Structure 1
Amino acid sequence: MKLKNKSSYYTRKVHRYLGILLGVQFLFWTLGGLYFSWNDIENVHGDHLRRDKTYFPATVRLVSPQQALGELQSATQVDSIHSLQLIDLPGSPAYQIRYFAGESASHSEQEDDSHSTGHSSVKVQLANAVTGQLLAPLGRADAVRVAKKTVIAPGTVEKVEYLTAVGAHHEYREKPLPAWAVTFAAPNCTVYVSAELGTFQAIRHNQWRLFDFLWMLHTMDYEGRDNFGNILLRAFSIFGLFTVLSGFALYYVSSPSVRKLKRKISN
Protein backbone atom coordinates (compact mmCIF):
# COMPACT_ATOMS: atom_id res chain seq x y z
CA MET A 1 0.00 0.00 0.00
CA LYS A 2 1.44 3.36 -0.99
CA LEU A 3 2.23 5.80 1.79
CA LYS A 4 -0.36 8.30 0.55
CA ASN A 5 -3.11 5.66 0.34
CA LYS A 6 -2.08 4.22 3.70
CA SER A 7 -2.30 7.66 5.30
CA SER A 8 -5.74 8.23 3.78
CA TYR A 9 -6.89 4.78 4.93
CA TYR A 10 -5.93 5.27 8.56
CA THR A 11 -7.26 8.81 8.63
CA ARG A 12 -10.63 7.58 7.36
CA LYS A 13 -10.63 4.79 9.92
CA VAL A 14 -9.84 7.09 12.85
CA HIS A 15 -12.45 9.59 11.71
CA ARG A 16 -15.09 6.88 11.26
CA TYR A 17 -14.65 5.33 14.70
CA LEU A 18 -14.45 8.68 16.44
CA GLY A 19 -17.63 9.68 14.62
CA ILE A 20 -19.43 6.56 15.84
CA LEU A 21 -18.18 7.10 19.40
CA LEU A 22 -19.14 10.76 19.56
CA GLY A 23 -22.12 10.90 17.21
CA VAL A 24 -24.75 10.02 19.81
CA GLN A 25 -23.32 12.46 22.35
CA PHE A 26 -23.15 15.22 19.74
CA LEU A 27 -26.83 14.54 19.05
CA PHE A 28 -27.60 14.92 22.77
CA TRP A 29 -25.64 18.17 22.91
CA THR A 30 -27.49 19.51 19.88
CA LEU A 31 -30.93 18.53 21.18
CA GLY A 32 -30.12 20.02 24.57
CA GLY A 33 -28.81 23.22 23.03
CA LEU A 34 -31.97 23.58 20.93
CA TYR A 35 -34.21 23.04 23.95
CA PHE A 36 -32.21 25.45 26.13
CA SER A 37 -32.18 28.20 23.51
CA TRP A 38 -35.85 27.88 22.54
CA ASN A 39 -37.22 27.97 26.09
CA ASP A 40 -37.55 30.92 28.41
CA ILE A 41 -35.44 30.09 31.47
CA GLU A 42 -37.93 31.90 33.72
CA ASN A 43 -40.68 29.56 32.54
CA VAL A 44 -38.38 26.60 33.13
CA HIS A 45 -37.93 27.83 36.71
CA GLY A 46 -41.71 28.02 37.03
CA ASP A 47 -41.91 31.79 37.50
CA HIS A 48 -45.03 31.90 35.30
CA LEU A 49 -46.79 29.59 37.79
CA ARG A 50 -46.03 31.74 40.83
CA ARG A 51 -47.99 34.62 42.29
CA ASP A 52 -46.35 38.02 42.54
CA LYS A 53 -44.58 38.50 45.84
CA THR A 54 -46.58 40.42 48.46
CA TYR A 55 -45.24 42.64 51.22
CA PHE A 56 -46.39 43.57 54.70
CA PRO A 57 -48.27 46.86 55.09
CA ALA A 58 -46.49 49.63 56.98
CA THR A 59 -49.21 49.46 59.64
CA VAL A 60 -48.37 45.89 60.67
CA ARG A 61 -47.76 45.59 64.41
CA LEU A 62 -44.68 43.60 65.33
CA VAL A 63 -42.91 42.87 68.59
CA SER A 64 -39.21 43.60 68.83
CA PRO A 65 -37.02 40.80 67.44
CA GLN A 66 -35.24 40.98 70.79
CA GLN A 67 -38.32 39.48 72.43
CA ALA A 68 -38.20 36.49 70.12
CA LEU A 69 -34.46 36.17 70.67
CA GLY A 70 -35.06 36.24 74.45
CA GLU A 71 -37.57 33.40 74.10
CA LEU A 72 -35.05 31.45 72.06
CA GLN A 73 -32.22 32.01 74.54
CA SER A 74 -34.48 30.84 77.33
CA ALA A 75 -35.18 27.61 75.45
CA THR A 76 -31.75 26.68 74.10
CA GLN A 77 -28.10 27.66 73.84
CA VAL A 78 -27.42 30.50 71.41
CA ASP A 79 -23.77 31.38 70.78
CA SER A 80 -24.26 33.88 67.98
CA ILE A 81 -26.84 35.08 65.47
CA HIS A 82 -26.34 34.21 61.82
CA SER A 83 -29.32 36.15 60.42
CA LEU A 84 -32.84 37.29 61.22
CA GLN A 85 -35.54 37.69 58.58
CA LEU A 86 -39.19 38.65 58.57
CA ILE A 87 -41.23 36.11 56.61
CA ASP A 88 -44.89 35.51 55.84
CA LEU A 89 -46.30 32.40 57.45
CA PRO A 90 -49.94 31.46 56.81
CA GLY A 91 -52.01 33.93 58.78
CA SER A 92 -49.17 35.75 60.54
CA PRO A 93 -45.78 37.37 60.01
CA ALA A 94 -42.91 35.48 61.60
CA TYR A 95 -39.25 35.89 62.40
CA GLN A 96 -36.90 33.35 60.86
CA ILE A 97 -33.90 33.22 63.19
CA ARG A 98 -30.74 31.46 62.08
CA TYR A 99 -28.19 30.98 64.83
CA PHE A 100 -25.16 29.03 65.98
CA ALA A 101 -25.18 26.76 69.00
CA GLY A 102 -21.94 25.08 70.05
CA GLU A 103 -20.12 26.15 66.87
CA SER A 104 -17.95 29.13 66.07
CA ALA A 105 -19.54 31.87 64.01
CA SER A 106 -16.29 32.06 62.03
CA HIS A 107 -17.68 29.26 59.88
CA SER A 108 -20.73 31.30 58.88
CA GLU A 109 -19.52 32.16 55.35
CA GLN A 110 -18.84 28.51 54.52
CA GLU A 111 -22.16 27.39 55.99
CA ASP A 112 -24.36 30.23 54.80
CA ASP A 113 -26.41 28.06 52.45
CA SER A 114 -25.18 24.61 53.43
CA HIS A 115 -28.17 24.14 55.71
CA SER A 116 -29.76 22.47 52.71
CA THR A 117 -27.26 19.61 52.79
CA GLY A 118 -27.87 18.69 56.40
CA HIS A 119 -24.18 19.21 57.33
CA SER A 120 -24.45 22.78 58.61
CA SER A 121 -24.17 23.91 62.22
CA VAL A 122 -26.57 26.77 61.47
CA LYS A 123 -29.80 26.14 63.33
CA VAL A 124 -33.18 27.68 62.52
CA GLN A 125 -36.02 28.82 64.74
CA LEU A 126 -39.32 30.40 63.75
CA ALA A 127 -41.08 32.84 66.03
CA ASN A 128 -44.41 34.65 65.80
CA ALA A 129 -43.53 38.25 64.95
CA VAL A 130 -46.73 39.54 66.62
CA THR A 131 -46.36 37.76 69.98
CA GLY A 132 -42.70 36.68 70.05
CA GLN A 133 -43.75 33.09 70.75
CA LEU A 134 -41.52 30.36 69.34
CA LEU A 135 -43.06 28.23 66.62
CA ALA A 136 -42.55 24.61 65.62
CA PRO A 137 -41.40 23.73 62.08
CA LEU A 138 -44.16 23.79 59.50
CA GLY A 139 -46.60 20.91 59.63
CA ARG A 140 -48.47 19.42 56.72
CA ALA A 141 -51.44 21.83 56.80
CA ASP A 142 -49.28 24.97 57.00
CA ALA A 143 -46.99 23.71 54.23
CA VAL A 144 -50.01 23.19 51.97
CA ARG A 145 -51.18 26.72 52.74
CA VAL A 146 -47.75 28.14 51.86
CA ALA A 147 -47.78 26.15 48.60
CA LYS A 148 -51.28 27.33 47.69
CA LYS A 149 -50.28 30.91 48.40
CA THR A 150 -47.30 30.50 46.07
CA VAL A 151 -49.09 29.10 43.01
CA ILE A 152 -51.42 31.03 40.71
CA ALA A 153 -54.90 29.43 40.77
CA PRO A 154 -53.86 26.24 42.58
CA GLY A 155 -55.99 23.20 41.81
CA THR A 156 -56.57 20.02 43.77
CA VAL A 157 -53.72 18.80 45.96
CA GLU A 158 -52.85 15.34 44.65
CA LYS A 159 -50.09 14.38 47.05
CA VAL A 160 -48.12 15.72 50.02
CA GLU A 161 -44.77 14.20 50.98
CA TYR A 162 -42.39 14.94 53.84
CA LEU A 163 -38.78 14.71 52.67
CA THR A 164 -35.88 14.20 55.04
CA ALA A 165 -33.37 13.01 52.42
CA VAL A 166 -33.15 13.03 48.62
CA GLY A 167 -30.86 11.40 46.07
CA ALA A 168 -28.36 13.06 43.77
CA HIS A 169 -30.85 12.97 40.88
CA HIS A 170 -33.89 14.19 42.81
CA GLU A 171 -35.51 17.33 41.45
CA TYR A 172 -35.16 18.93 44.92
CA ARG A 173 -31.45 18.15 45.28
CA GLU A 174 -29.17 20.61 47.12
CA LYS A 175 -32.11 22.37 48.80
CA PRO A 176 -32.99 22.78 52.51
CA LEU A 177 -34.23 19.64 54.26
CA PRO A 178 -36.55 18.57 55.77
CA ALA A 179 -39.12 19.83 53.29
CA TRP A 180 -42.71 19.33 52.23
CA ALA A 181 -43.46 18.40 48.60
CA VAL A 182 -46.96 19.51 47.63
CA THR A 183 -48.14 18.28 44.22
CA PHE A 184 -51.05 19.99 42.46
CA ALA A 185 -53.20 18.48 39.73
CA ALA A 186 -53.52 21.86 38.01
CA PRO A 187 -51.17 23.37 37.24
CA ASN A 188 -49.27 20.10 37.03
CA CYS A 189 -46.44 20.99 39.38
CA THR A 190 -44.83 20.22 42.73
CA VAL A 191 -44.08 22.99 45.21
CA TYR A 192 -41.35 22.45 47.80
CA VAL A 193 -41.58 24.21 51.16
CA SER A 194 -38.84 24.08 53.80
CA ALA A 195 -40.25 22.87 57.12
CA GLU A 196 -37.67 24.62 59.30
CA LEU A 197 -37.25 27.80 57.26
CA GLY A 198 -41.01 28.10 56.74
CA THR A 199 -40.59 29.36 53.17
CA PHE A 200 -41.11 28.32 49.55
CA GLN A 201 -37.97 26.85 48.01
CA ALA A 202 -38.68 25.56 44.51
CA ILE A 203 -41.37 24.71 42.00
CA ARG A 204 -40.95 21.81 39.60
CA HIS A 205 -43.03 21.00 36.53
CA ASN A 206 -42.65 18.95 33.34
CA GLN A 207 -40.83 21.67 31.41
CA TRP A 208 -38.22 21.90 34.17
CA ARG A 209 -37.94 18.10 34.39
CA LEU A 210 -37.22 17.77 30.67
CA PHE A 211 -34.72 20.62 30.95
CA ASP A 212 -33.03 18.84 33.86
CA PHE A 213 -32.81 15.53 31.96
CA LEU A 214 -31.31 17.21 28.90
CA TRP A 215 -28.96 19.13 31.18
CA MET A 216 -27.70 15.81 32.56
CA LEU A 217 -27.03 14.59 29.00
CA HIS A 218 -25.39 17.92 28.19
CA THR A 219 -23.01 17.90 31.19
CA MET A 220 -22.53 14.12 31.06
CA ASP A 221 -22.66 14.11 34.85
CA TYR A 222 -24.66 10.94 35.40
CA GLU A 223 -24.01 10.95 39.14
CA GLY A 224 -25.24 14.37 40.22
CA ARG A 225 -26.12 16.19 36.95
CA ASP A 226 -24.54 19.54 37.84
CA ASN A 227 -20.77 18.93 37.67
CA PHE A 228 -19.68 20.64 34.46
CA GLY A 229 -16.03 19.64 34.92
CA ASN A 230 -16.33 15.86 35.17
CA ILE A 231 -13.78 13.57 33.53
CA LEU A 232 -16.24 12.07 31.05
CA LEU A 233 -17.18 15.47 29.63
CA ARG A 234 -13.53 16.50 29.38
CA ALA A 235 -12.63 13.26 27.60
CA PHE A 236 -15.46 13.60 25.07
CA SER A 237 -14.50 17.23 24.45
CA ILE A 238 -10.96 16.14 23.56
CA PHE A 239 -12.28 13.30 21.37
CA GLY A 240 -14.52 15.82 19.66
CA LEU A 241 -11.51 17.99 18.88
CA PHE A 242 -9.70 14.97 17.43
CA THR A 243 -12.76 14.15 15.32
CA VAL A 244 -12.81 17.65 13.81
CA LEU A 245 -9.05 17.60 13.19
CA SER A 246 -9.22 14.15 11.59
CA GLY A 247 -11.98 15.47 9.32
CA PHE A 248 -9.71 18.29 8.18
CA ALA A 249 -6.86 15.81 7.69
CA LEU A 250 -9.14 13.51 5.72
CA TYR A 251 -10.12 16.37 3.45
CA TYR A 252 -6.48 17.26 2.95
CA VAL A 253 -5.33 13.75 1.99
CA SER A 254 -8.32 12.93 -0.23
CA SER A 255 -9.21 16.23 -1.90
CA PRO A 256 -8.60 16.42 -5.69
CA SER A 257 -8.20 20.18 -5.38
CA VAL A 258 -5.39 19.75 -2.86
CA ARG A 259 -3.69 17.17 -5.11
CA LYS A 260 -3.88 19.52 -8.11
CA LEU A 261 -2.47 22.35 -6.03
CA LYS A 262 0.40 20.18 -4.82
CA ARG A 263 1.20 19.11 -8.41
CA LYS A 264 1.30 22.73 -9.54
CA ILE A 265 3.64 23.62 -6.69
CA SER A 266 5.92 20.65 -7.43
CA ASN A 267 6.10 21.59 -11.13
Structure 2
Amino acid sequence: MKVLKLSTQLHKWIALVVGLQVLFWVGGGLVMTAIPIETVRGEHRAVEFQPGPLALAALPGPEEIARRAGVMPVRAELRTTPRGPVWTLIPAAGEPVTVSAATGRPFGPMSAGEASEFARRAYRGEADITEAVLLTTAPEETGRTGPLWRVDFADREKTSLYLSPDTGEVVTRRSGVWRIFDFFWRLHVMDWNDGEDFNHPLIIITTALTLSIVVSGFILLWIRISRDVKMGRATRRTR
Protein backbone atom coordinates (compact mmCIF):
# COMPACT_ATOMS: atom_id res chain seq x y z
CA MET A 1 0.00 0.00 0.00
CA LYS A 2 2.94 2.35 0.59
CA VAL A 3 4.02 1.86 -3.01
CA LEU A 4 0.47 2.58 -4.19
CA LYS A 5 0.22 5.73 -2.12
CA LEU A 6 3.66 6.97 -3.17
CA SER A 7 2.95 6.29 -6.85
CA THR A 8 -0.43 8.01 -6.62
CA GLN A 9 1.03 11.15 -5.03
CA LEU A 10 3.97 11.22 -7.46
CA HIS A 11 1.69 10.76 -10.44
CA LYS A 12 -0.75 13.45 -9.31
CA TRP A 13 1.71 16.20 -8.45
CA ILE A 14 4.04 15.75 -11.39
CA ALA A 15 1.06 15.62 -13.75
CA LEU A 16 -0.13 18.90 -12.25
CA VAL A 17 3.25 20.51 -12.89
CA VAL A 18 3.82 19.34 -16.47
CA GLY A 19 0.23 18.79 -17.60
CA LEU A 20 -0.03 22.12 -19.43
CA GLN A 21 3.16 21.46 -21.39
CA VAL A 22 1.92 17.99 -22.32
CA LEU A 23 -1.21 19.70 -23.67
CA PHE A 24 1.04 22.01 -25.72
CA TRP A 25 3.00 19.02 -27.04
CA VAL A 26 -0.13 17.17 -28.13
CA GLY A 27 -1.88 20.27 -29.50
CA GLY A 28 1.24 21.49 -31.27
CA GLY A 29 1.88 18.05 -32.71
CA LEU A 30 -1.68 17.97 -34.05
CA VAL A 31 -1.29 21.37 -35.71
CA MET A 32 2.11 20.52 -37.19
CA THR A 33 0.91 17.22 -38.63
CA ALA A 34 -2.42 18.59 -39.86
CA ILE A 35 -0.91 21.43 -41.92
CA PRO A 36 1.13 20.25 -44.93
CA ILE A 37 4.71 21.48 -44.64
CA GLU A 38 4.54 22.66 -48.27
CA THR A 39 1.74 25.04 -47.26
CA VAL A 40 3.73 26.26 -44.27
CA ARG A 41 6.68 27.02 -46.54
CA GLY A 42 4.42 28.76 -49.05
CA GLU A 43 5.54 26.49 -51.88
CA HIS A 44 2.06 26.59 -53.43
CA ARG A 45 2.53 30.36 -53.85
CA ALA A 46 6.02 30.17 -55.34
CA VAL A 47 7.04 30.47 -58.96
CA GLU A 48 10.54 29.15 -59.57
CA PHE A 49 12.90 31.73 -61.02
CA GLN A 50 13.97 30.78 -64.53
CA PRO A 51 17.36 32.36 -65.26
CA GLY A 52 18.27 33.19 -68.82
CA PRO A 53 21.57 32.18 -70.43
CA LEU A 54 24.63 34.12 -69.36
CA ALA A 55 26.42 36.06 -72.10
CA LEU A 56 29.85 35.27 -70.66
CA ALA A 57 31.78 36.78 -73.56
CA ALA A 58 30.25 40.19 -72.85
CA LEU A 59 31.10 40.14 -69.14
CA PRO A 60 34.40 41.13 -67.52
CA GLY A 61 36.42 38.25 -66.09
CA PRO A 62 36.39 37.46 -62.36
CA GLU A 63 39.85 38.98 -61.85
CA GLU A 64 38.66 42.31 -63.26
CA ILE A 65 35.45 42.15 -61.24
CA ALA A 66 37.41 41.54 -58.04
CA ARG A 67 39.71 44.46 -58.85
CA ARG A 68 36.80 46.82 -59.47
CA ALA A 69 35.04 45.68 -56.31
CA GLY A 70 38.20 46.03 -54.24
CA VAL A 71 37.91 42.51 -52.86
CA MET A 72 40.45 39.69 -52.65
CA PRO A 73 38.14 36.66 -52.75
CA VAL A 74 38.99 33.10 -51.88
CA ARG A 75 35.87 31.97 -53.75
CA ALA A 76 33.56 33.57 -56.29
CA GLU A 77 30.10 32.56 -57.50
CA LEU A 78 28.41 33.77 -60.68
CA ARG A 79 24.61 33.57 -61.02
CA THR A 80 21.65 35.21 -62.68
CA THR A 81 19.21 37.24 -60.59
CA PRO A 82 16.09 39.35 -61.38
CA ARG A 83 18.37 42.42 -61.63
CA GLY A 84 20.84 40.70 -63.91
CA PRO A 85 23.98 38.54 -63.51
CA VAL A 86 25.95 39.00 -60.30
CA TRP A 87 29.21 37.88 -58.79
CA THR A 88 29.28 37.02 -55.11
CA LEU A 89 32.85 37.44 -53.89
CA ILE A 90 33.73 35.59 -50.67
CA PRO A 91 36.85 36.96 -48.94
CA ALA A 92 38.95 35.04 -46.43
CA ALA A 93 37.51 37.22 -43.66
CA GLY A 94 34.41 39.35 -43.56
CA GLU A 95 31.05 39.27 -45.29
CA PRO A 96 30.54 38.21 -48.93
CA VAL A 97 30.27 41.06 -51.42
CA THR A 98 27.67 40.93 -54.21
CA VAL A 99 28.27 43.09 -57.27
CA SER A 100 26.95 43.38 -60.79
CA ALA A 101 28.70 40.99 -63.14
CA ALA A 102 28.58 43.70 -65.80
CA THR A 103 30.16 46.55 -63.84
CA GLY A 104 31.83 45.05 -60.78
CA ARG A 105 29.95 47.57 -58.66
CA PRO A 106 26.97 47.13 -56.31
CA PHE A 107 23.56 47.66 -57.84
CA GLY A 108 21.84 50.97 -57.20
CA PRO A 109 18.90 51.28 -54.80
CA MET A 110 15.84 49.24 -55.74
CA SER A 111 12.52 51.08 -55.93
CA ALA A 112 9.20 49.92 -54.52
CA GLY A 113 7.98 49.44 -58.08
CA GLU A 114 10.89 47.14 -58.90
CA ALA A 115 10.42 45.18 -55.70
CA SER A 116 6.71 44.76 -56.47
CA GLU A 117 7.45 43.61 -60.02
CA PHE A 118 10.04 41.05 -58.91
CA ALA A 119 7.70 39.79 -56.16
CA ARG A 120 4.84 39.48 -58.65
CA ARG A 121 6.99 37.32 -60.93
CA ALA A 122 7.88 35.06 -57.98
CA TYR A 123 4.26 34.73 -56.79
CA ARG A 124 1.68 32.18 -57.91
CA GLY A 125 -1.86 33.52 -57.61
CA GLU A 126 -4.12 36.40 -58.54
CA ALA A 127 -4.00 38.37 -55.27
CA ASP A 128 -3.13 42.04 -55.39
CA ILE A 129 -0.07 43.53 -53.75
CA THR A 130 -1.08 45.54 -50.70
CA GLU A 131 2.28 46.97 -49.70
CA ALA A 132 5.95 47.02 -50.62
CA VAL A 133 8.23 48.40 -47.93
CA LEU A 134 11.98 48.50 -47.41
CA LEU A 135 12.87 47.31 -43.91
CA THR A 136 16.20 48.57 -42.61
CA THR A 137 16.44 45.59 -40.26
CA ALA A 138 15.30 42.11 -41.25
CA PRO A 139 12.43 40.85 -39.03
CA GLU A 140 13.18 37.95 -36.71
CA GLU A 141 10.81 35.68 -38.64
CA THR A 142 13.06 35.79 -41.71
CA GLY A 143 16.12 34.39 -39.94
CA ARG A 144 18.17 36.98 -41.85
CA THR A 145 20.17 40.08 -41.07
CA GLY A 146 20.40 43.43 -42.79
CA PRO A 147 17.80 45.29 -44.85
CA LEU A 148 15.09 43.50 -46.87
CA TRP A 149 12.15 44.44 -49.04
CA ARG A 150 8.85 42.99 -47.83
CA VAL A 151 6.05 42.69 -50.36
CA ASP A 152 2.62 41.72 -48.99
CA PHE A 153 -0.17 40.04 -50.94
CA ALA A 154 -3.91 40.13 -50.22
CA ASP A 155 -4.46 36.38 -50.34
CA ARG A 156 -6.13 34.32 -47.64
CA GLU A 157 -2.77 33.23 -46.18
CA LYS A 158 -1.53 36.85 -45.97
CA THR A 159 1.61 35.94 -47.89
CA SER A 160 4.71 38.11 -47.55
CA LEU A 161 7.74 37.77 -49.81
CA TYR A 162 11.08 39.06 -48.55
CA LEU A 163 13.47 40.20 -51.26
CA SER A 164 17.15 41.06 -51.33
CA PRO A 165 17.48 44.83 -51.87
CA ASP A 166 20.62 44.15 -53.91
CA THR A 167 19.52 41.47 -56.37
CA GLY A 168 15.71 41.33 -56.11
CA GLU A 169 15.83 37.62 -55.24
CA VAL A 170 13.22 36.17 -52.89
CA VAL A 171 15.18 35.14 -49.80
CA THR A 172 12.21 33.76 -47.85
CA ARG A 173 8.41 33.49 -47.81
CA ARG A 174 6.20 33.97 -44.77
CA SER A 175 2.44 33.85 -44.20
CA GLY A 176 -0.22 33.66 -41.53
CA VAL A 177 -0.04 29.87 -41.80
CA TRP A 178 3.71 29.94 -41.19
CA ARG A 179 3.25 32.19 -38.15
CA ILE A 180 0.63 29.88 -36.63
CA PHE A 181 2.94 26.92 -37.24
CA ASP A 182 5.88 28.80 -35.73
CA PHE A 183 3.84 29.70 -32.62
CA PHE A 184 2.95 26.07 -31.95
CA TRP A 185 6.50 24.96 -32.77
CA ARG A 186 7.90 27.28 -30.09
CA LEU A 187 5.41 25.92 -27.59
CA HIS A 188 6.32 22.40 -28.66
CA VAL A 189 10.08 22.81 -28.14
CA MET A 190 9.66 25.18 -25.16
CA ASP A 191 11.91 27.78 -26.79
CA TRP A 192 9.87 31.00 -26.81
CA ASN A 193 12.79 33.10 -28.04
CA ASP A 194 13.46 31.92 -31.59
CA GLY A 195 12.39 28.26 -31.67
CA GLU A 196 15.87 27.10 -32.63
CA ASP A 197 16.98 25.29 -29.45
CA PHE A 198 15.14 22.01 -28.89
CA ASN A 199 17.53 20.26 -26.48
CA HIS A 200 17.84 22.86 -23.73
CA PRO A 201 17.71 21.88 -20.02
CA LEU A 202 14.07 22.92 -19.51
CA ILE A 203 12.67 20.58 -22.15
CA ILE A 204 14.97 17.75 -20.99
CA ILE A 205 13.75 18.12 -17.38
CA THR A 206 10.11 18.39 -18.45
CA THR A 207 10.43 15.31 -20.66
CA ALA A 208 12.03 13.36 -17.80
CA LEU A 209 9.18 14.37 -15.48
CA THR A 210 6.64 13.34 -18.12
CA LEU A 211 8.35 9.97 -18.39
CA SER A 212 8.01 9.58 -14.63
CA ILE A 213 4.27 10.20 -15.00
CA VAL A 214 4.04 7.40 -17.54
CA VAL A 215 6.08 5.02 -15.37
CA SER A 216 4.13 5.81 -12.20
CA GLY A 217 0.90 5.45 -14.18
CA PHE A 218 1.90 1.94 -15.26
CA ILE A 219 2.75 1.11 -11.64
CA LEU A 220 -0.67 2.33 -10.51
CA LEU A 221 -2.38 0.41 -13.29
CA TRP A 222 -0.52 -2.81 -12.43
CA ILE A 223 -1.25 -2.48 -8.71
CA ARG A 224 -4.92 -1.77 -9.25
CA ILE A 225 -5.38 -4.55 -11.79
CA SER A 226 -3.64 -6.98 -9.42
CA ARG A 227 -5.83 -5.85 -6.54
CA ASP A 228 -9.01 -6.18 -8.62
CA VAL A 229 -8.00 -9.67 -9.74
CA LYS A 230 -7.36 -10.73 -6.12
CA MET A 231 -10.66 -9.26 -4.99
CA GLY A 232 -12.46 -11.04 -7.82
CA ARG A 233 -10.92 -14.36 -6.87
CA ALA A 234 -11.79 -13.85 -3.21
CA THR A 235 -15.37 -13.02 -4.12
CA ARG A 236 -15.72 -16.16 -6.21
CA ARG A 237 -14.32 -18.31 -3.39
CA THR A 238 -16.79 -16.92 -0.86
CA ARG A 239 -19.65 -17.75 -3.20
TM above 0.5: yes
Partner SS for 2:96: strand
Counterpart for residue 82 of structure 1: 75
Provide closer, same or farther for how the CA distance between residues 254 and 98 of structure 1 changes in structure 2, counting only shifts above 3 A: same
Tell me, yes or no, if structure 1 residue 245 matches structure 2 residue 184. no
- Return 5+ residue gaps in structure 1 as ranges: 108-120
Query: Within 1, Cα distance between the matches of 2:164 and 2:154?
Result: 21
The answer as to whether partners of 1:155 and 1:186 remain within 8 angstroms in 2 is yes
Gaps in structure 2 of 5+ consecutive residues: 235-239
Work out which of the residue numbers 146, 163, 174 in structure 2 matches 1:177: 146
- What displacement does 1:13 show? 1.5
Alpha-carbon shift at residue 124 of structure 1 (Å):
1.8
Counterpart residue number, 1:123: 96
What does 1:1-267 correspond to in 2, within 5 Å? Answer: 4=1, 6-57=2-53, 61-63=55-57, 66-67=60-61, 69-76=63-70, 78-90=71-83, 93-100=84-91, 105=92, 121-127=94-100, 129=101, 131-132=102-103, 134-136=105-107, 139-141=110-112, 142-153=114-125, 155-166=127-138, 170-173=140-143, 175-186=144-155, 188-196=158-166, 198-257=168-227, 260=230
TM-score normalised by the chain length of structure 1: 0.75
| Alpha-carbon distance in structure 1 between the residues aligned to 2:132 and 2:170 | 14
Residue-by-residue CA offset, 1:19-45 (whole Å, 9 max, x unaligned): 122221111111221222222211210
Aligned to 1:112: none
CA distance in 1, matches of 2:205, 2:59: 54
Write the distance in 2 (CA, Å) between the matches of 1:166 and 1:11. Answer: 51
For 1:133-156, what per-residue CA distance to the aligned partner results, in whole angstroms no more than 9, with x for missing partners? Answer: 534265233332221111013533
TM-score by length of 2: 0.83
Shift of 1:245: 0.9
Q: Deviations over 1:71-109 (max 9, x none)?
A: 441342x2224331212224xx31132221xxxx2x6xx
C-alpha distance 33-75 of structure 1, shift in aligned 2 (>3 A):
closer
Residue 237 (structure 2) aligns with: none
Does the CA contact (< 8 Å) of 1:126 and 1:198 recur in 2? no
Tell me which moved more, 60-69 or 149-158: 60-69
- Say whether the 8 Å CA contact 2:4–2:220 is kept in structure 1: yes
CA contact under 8 A between 2:110 and 2:166: conserved in structure 1? Answer: no
Q: Tell me the percent identity.
A: 25
Shift of 1:183: 1.2
Distance 1:96 1:145, change over 3 A: farther
Supply the distance in 2 between the matched residues of 1:234 and 1:65 (Cα, whole angstroms): 56
RMSD over equivalenced CA pairs, Å:
2.7
1:96/1:197 contact within 8 Å kept = no
Distance change >3 Å, CA 193–CA 137, structure 1 → 2: farther
Alignment: residue pair count:
231
The answer (yes or no) to whether the contact 1:126–1:137 under 8 Å persists in 2 is no
The question of whether the paired residues in 2 share the 8 Å contact of 1:82 and 1:122 is answered with no
